[in-house]
Amino acid sequence: DGDQMAVHVPLSIEAQLEARALMMSTNNVLSPANGEPIIVPSQDIVLGLYYMTRKSVNALGEGKMFSSVAECKRAYEMGVVSLHASVTVRIEEQVVDNDGVQHITRPVRQTTVGRA
């Protein structure tokens, strides 16, 4: 029907960097026109977060222990545990003490697969 659409391709390295910086999703959270948020948590997002993090009784894989979050995720992807199963996971955390020194701790946490 004759409609045309222009496509602008940044060719130089500087133009590519500028385009990448301007189009990053983190830079497009606020409206440039009035500074108000473009994206706000909707009911769908809130319900989705609730669904992912809720705990079920007698869920598939309940009570299992995992040595890392990655192992827990693999077990979920393989169908060994349910998203809502209560599990024990060793979680790697970075902690900064009062002197400003950073330490890595690996505490064991009781959580659900969706929260891990």
Give ∠ CA 19-21-22 in degrees, rounded to 5: 65
Instruction: Judge contact between 55 and 86, C-beta under 8 A.
Output: yes
Amino acid at 34: N
Report which secondary-structure segment, H or E, holds 26: none
Residue 60: how many other CB atoms lie within 10 Å? 15
Give the lowest-confidence range in 30-39, 48-57, 78-87.
30-39
The predicted-structure confidence for 6-44, as pLDDT tens digits, reads as follows 888 889 999 999 888 888 877 777 777 888 887 777 788
Q: Amino acid identity of 17?
A: L
Rounded mean pLDDT of the chain?
A: 87
Query: Domain locations in the chain?
Result: 55-112
Across 40-49, 61-70, 73-82, least confident range: 40-49
Radius of gyration of the CA atoms of the chain, in A = 22
